Amino acid sequence: MIKNDLFLKALKGETVQRPPVWMMRQAGRYLPEFMAIREKYDFFTRCRTPELASEITVQPIHRYGMDAAILFSDILVIPQAMNIEVEMKPNFGPYLPNPIRTQSDVDRVVVPDVTVELDYVYQAIKATKELLNNEVPLIGFAGSPWTILCYCVQGQGSKTFDKAKEFCFTNPMAAHLLLQKITDTTIAYLKEKVKAGCDVVQIFDSWGGMLSPTDYQTFSWQYINQIIEALKDDAPVIAFAKGCWFALPEMAKSNASALGVDWTCSPENARYLTGGNITLQGNFDPARLLSPPSEIKKMVHQMIDAFGKDKYIVNLGHGILPNIPLDNAKAFIDAVKEYNA
């Protein structure tokens, strides 16, 4: 049994004394212990070495005592497993030297045997579960099919993902075939993650906000929903679509256990749009962690009051930034632990 099950209770909508808290990208560059490992090993070596991935995963838990751990990995391990070359360039980010632009490119993409190609992830989960020793739940994650497509077609990060959108709008048959291949791989991958020990899974739709509401339903949400439907009986599923407040009413009708909200949508509006029945997660502006600790604590308490303590998971509205002072991250976590309704 997991000793601190506050996070799991919130996902079930149970009454809690205080809401649980964790931070997206909590195992990351703001931590000096993470930087020490980063100096010795490149990015994908860290992802592929179970001892390193597990050590990185538990670093923030040991330092701050969040209510959940999230496995150190990357959303782009999926395209790598699908026969798409992905590099992580220092001071640049993801780089795919052979982006997908044609039907024949899509035809070359494989739906892999995830138990073989991504075995290192499952080994990292097992190693992490040992280190966590049932203290807190472990979250596994994947990118949404649309977000993965964005990188596969664009070939790198982008402010607009114009090439990805052009591909979808000029060659929709090829785009939907690619999205389905990514979806099928992601479902198999997440199911194995749960088997290996993940207690919860989260789908990150980082670039959903690039699409219009109509195109979002066509090219993103229908595929996310396939994943939710396939996983709903295996583990709680959190769906986080950045910049997609417009889709919250539709997403709230799904079998997701919780929906992530970014900082551009107020707690009151998020509750209104979702009908008030589903657990919400978010939505502190990551840059607000640059405010003084006393102000952070005050704002966190106001945020909890606005969302309500039940059916709520305290988190940031996106990943923690690398330049956040350690004391400020601590103030964020401590504020939740000190909360009294």
User: What is the average pLDDT across 145-165?
Assistant: 98
- Integer-rounded Cα Rg, in Å, for the chain is 19
Identify whether 170 is part of a domain.
yes
Check: CB of residue 58 under 8 Å from CB of residue 69: yes
The sign of the dihedral angle between the CA atoms of 132, 112, 208, 271 is: negative
User: What is the average pLDDT across 194-219?
Assistant: 98
Tokens of 196: 């290996």
Identify whether 163 is part of a domain.
yes
In sequence order, what E strands does 104-198 have? 138-143
Q: What is the mean pLDDT of the chain?
A: 98
Q: How does pLDDT run across 85-142, given as a tens digit for each residue? A: 999 998 899 999 999 999 999 999 999 999 999 999 999 999 999 999 999 999 999 9
Determine the angle formed by the axes of helices 32-40 and 50-64, rounding to 10 degrees.
170
Domain holding 170, by residue range, is 6-337
Report how many domains make up the chain: 1
CATH number at residue 200: 3.20.20.210
- Distance CA(35)–CA(135), nearest Å, equals 25
Identify whether 89 is part of a domain.
yes
Distances (CA, A) of 179 to 49, 57, 142, 147, 176: 28, 29, 14, 10, 5
Identify whether 1 is part of a domain.
no
* Beta-carbon contacts of residue 133 (< 8 Å; ≥ 6 apart): none
User: What is the average pLDDT across 272-283?
Assistant: 97
Of 206, 233, 236, nearest to 220 (Cα)? Answer: 206
- Distance CA(242)–CA(239), nearest Å, equals 10
Q: Regarding beta strands 69-70 and 200-205, do their DSSP bridges make them parallel or antiparallel, or are they unpaired?
A: unpaired
Which pLDDT band, with edges at 50, 70 and 90, does 340 fall under? confident
Q: How does pLDDT run across 165-194, given as a tens digit for each residue? A: 999 999 999 999 999 999 999 999 999 999
- Distance CA(179)–CA(215), nearest Å, equals 14
- Distance CA(63)–CA(42), nearest Å, equals 23
Q: How does pLDDT run across 248-266, given as a tens digit for each residue? A: 999 999 999 999 999 999 9
End-to-end CA distance of the chain: 27
* Beta-carbon contacts of residue 154 (< 8 Å; ≥ 6 apart): 99, 161, 162, 163, 164
Q: Regarding beta strands 93-95 and 87-89, do their DSSP bridges make them parallel or antiparallel, or are they unpaired?
A: antiparallel
Q: How does pLDDT run across 69-82, given as a tens digit for each residue? A: 999 999 999 999 99
Decide if pLDDT at 288 tops 90.
yes
Which pLDDT band, with edges at 50, 70 and 90, does 341 fall under? low
Specify the pLDDT at position 100. 98
| % pLDDT > 90, the chain | 99
Q: For the whole model, what pTM was predicted?
A: 0.98
Of 161, 156, 223, 154, nearest to 186 (Cα)? Answer: 223
Please identify every residue annotated as catalytic: 25, 29, 38, 74, 151
- Distance CA(86)–CA(323), nearest Å, equals 26
User: What is the average pLDDT across 37-43?
Assistant: 97
* Beta-carbon contacts of residue 52 (< 8 Å; ≥ 6 apart): 37, 41, 45, 46, 72
* Beta-carbon contacts of residue 119 (< 8 Å; ≥ 6 apart): none
Residues annotated within a binding site for substrate: 25-29, 44, 74, 151, 206, 318
Which pLDDT band, with edges at 50, 70 and 90, does 15 fall under? very high
Of 76, 78, 74, 38, nearest to 55 (Cα)? Answer: 38
